[in-house]
């Protein structure tokens, strides 16, 4: 690539960050890092009516958690700021007026009442929602229909909107890196507002101007913006020339059970669709996030990467470094990708198993301490994490899977044990206590060997007393290898638990 790669993610601070938004971040990030480029986050807050307090901070917290932090942004600085569109308001007017001078945009003075009358008057069964387009514009109150003197007078006393003037008989071709050549009939595209009466640009103008000024080389976004592409290409052509336009790619939708993955799916089917917990301050509506569900970043981005892309092989587990190396826009699917929550859980489980305890410990420490469990002994806690992580799908599973390391059982699962209990087994555990009291090295292999020798000496098969030992130490029929448990608990705690539980087995 001859020019430096510069890509951007441009969210509106209107709520939580949906799975599709994070995937857009991920693909932008991977592409930039693969080509030694820059990843920029630009906050598109031109629609102040939809602005939600806290949403901008939430976006950056999400990217930090996922390990997808930008090179340039409101928080990270950079040479092409401001990175918040509301702080760039004064930039856009001259570009909108330049389009007016070139005959590619016009002033529109229609009141809300005028627009409502238009929609009512021109509505038909074939066209139930008339748009302000080439068939309507010459019937409205704008600088195309009014005398020049009237327009000048209006401009003195009113603040009009500026609308793009889409050509009537023209086709615009988009060369999409995923979809190939996409042909748009401009006669089907309405005259979008570019600059609102309050001087704030709409997305259609701001995205083009900002991409030009920030030297964006590639514009990647969701396919919901594909229908707006002819407007943006038209603006590029007449403001900056098509040779300066970035390359485009429109990502497919992420699909749920009944169409586009939505918050409604989350509520109905019980899985998250936002990256992190989000509570809408306007409605107090809560939406659960993948982070709080117990996903780890490695599993989360691995799952996301394969929602619409593969490297052409059967490989499914990719580290972030491998994704940077192997990602290619040419292998992003053009069709929608179905979200499978069971598969998402599988990715997370696989990454928890692969992750060193030292990597998992910081987040797990918070979970445990919030439950009042002291995990200040890092060496011990790391060992416990390594013992139980193969059994954990979520980080939250570690609580249940390792609680017995921190609390002596108060109850025991004895339903299947008691009918087979006898004095011979009581004698076995009494002798095991004496043997383990004097064992030199408290390690699992020596404990296991001693256990088996003691069982044979008491004319028992080791399997007959292995489950009772587990229940004495854990309280139930779960957990990692029982001798690993004993080794991690330590001599004193192990012997105390056997002594405490043994009378319950013989009742």
* Residues labelled catalytic: 263
CB 33 within 8 A of CB 246: no
DSSP-assigned states of every residue in 363-423: HHHHHHHHTT-----HHHHHHHHHHHGGG-SSTTHHHHHHGGGTS--SS---TTTGGG--H
With beta carbons less than 8 A apart as the criterion, state whether 262 and 256 touch. Answer: yes
The structure tokens listed for 104 are 């590619």
Is the peptide bond preceding residue 220 cis, with omega within 30 degrees of 0? no
Considering only CA atoms, which of 417, 456, 415 is closest in space to residue 435? Answer: 456
Give the pair of three-digit tokens for residue 200: 């704030």
d(CA 88, CA 450): 75
Structure letter (DSSP) for residue 309:
B
CA distances from 156 to 96, 133, 150, 161, 259 (A): 18, 26, 10, 14, 49
Residue 107: count of CB within 10 angstroms of its CB: 22
Question: What is the Cα–Cα distance from 452 to 432, expressed in whole angstroms?
Answer: 10
Look at the alpha carbons of 212, 216, 218, 223 in this order and tell me if their dihedral is positive or negative.
negative
Q: For residue 311, report the phi and psi dihedrals to the nearest 5 degrees.
A: -95, 10
């Amino acid at each position: 690539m001859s020019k430096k790669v510069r890509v951007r993610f441009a969210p509106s601070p209107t709520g939580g960050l949906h799975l599709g938004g994070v995937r857009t971040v991920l693909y932008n990030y991977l592409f930039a890092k693969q080509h030694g480029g820059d990843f920029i986050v630009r906050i598109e807050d031109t629609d102040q009516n939809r602005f939600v307090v806290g949403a901008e901070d939430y976006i950056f917290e999400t990217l930090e958690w996922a390990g997808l932090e930008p090179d340039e942004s409101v928080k990270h600085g950079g040479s092409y700021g401001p990175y918040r569109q509301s702080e760039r308001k004064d930039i856009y007017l001259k570009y909108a007026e330049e389009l007016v001078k070139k005959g590619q945009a016009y002033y529109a003075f229609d009141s809300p009442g005028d627009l409502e009358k238009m929609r009512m008057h021109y509505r038909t069964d074939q066209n139930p929602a008339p748009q302000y387009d080439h068939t309507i514009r010459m019937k409205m109150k704008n600088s195309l229909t009014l005398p020049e003197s009237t327009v000048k007078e209006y401009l003195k006393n009113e603040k009009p909107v500026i609308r793009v003037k889409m050509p009537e008989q023209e086709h615009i071709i988009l060369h999409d890196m995923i979809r190939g050549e996409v042909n748009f009939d401009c006669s089907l595209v309405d005259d979008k507002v570019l600059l609102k009466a309050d001087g704030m640009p709409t997305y259609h103008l701001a995205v083009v101007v900002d991409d030009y000024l920030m030297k964006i080389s590639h514009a990647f976004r969701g396919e919901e913006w594909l229908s707006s592409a002819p407007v943006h290409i038209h603006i590029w052509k007449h403001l900056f020339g098509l040779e300066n336009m970035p390359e485009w790619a429109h990502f497919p939708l992420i699909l749920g059970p009944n169409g586009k993955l939505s918050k409604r799916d989350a509520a109905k089917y019980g899985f998250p669709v936002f990256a992190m917990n989000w509570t809408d301050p306007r409605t107090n509506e809560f939406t659960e996030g993948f982070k709080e569900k117990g996903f780890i970043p490695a599993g989360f981005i691995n799952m996301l990467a394969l929602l619409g892309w593969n490297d052409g092989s059967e490989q499914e587990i990719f580290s972030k470094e491998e994704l940077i190396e192997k990602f290619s826009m040419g292998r992003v699917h053009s069709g929608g990708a179905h979200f499978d929550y069971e598969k998402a859980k599988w990715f997370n489980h696989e990454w928890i198993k692969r992750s060193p305890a030292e990597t998992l410990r910081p987040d797990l420490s918070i979970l445990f301490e919030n439950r009042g469990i002291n995990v200040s002994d890092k060496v011990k806690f790391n060992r416990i994490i390594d013992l139980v992580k193969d059994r954990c799908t979520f980080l939250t599973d570690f609580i249940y899977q390792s609680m017995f390391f921190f609390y002596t059982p108060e109850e025991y699962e004895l339903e299947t044990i008691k009918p087979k209990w006898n004095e011979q087994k009581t004698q076995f555990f009494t002798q095991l206590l004496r043997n383990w009291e004097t064992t030199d090295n408290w390690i699992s292999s020596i404990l296991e060997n001693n256990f088996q020798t003691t069982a044979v000496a008491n004319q028992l098969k080791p399997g007959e007393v292995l489950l009772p030992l587990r229940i004495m130490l854990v309280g139930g029929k779960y957990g990692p290898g029982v001798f690993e448990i004993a080794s991690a608990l330590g001599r004193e705690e192990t012997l105390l638990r056997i002594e405490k539980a043994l009378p319950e087995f013989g009742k």
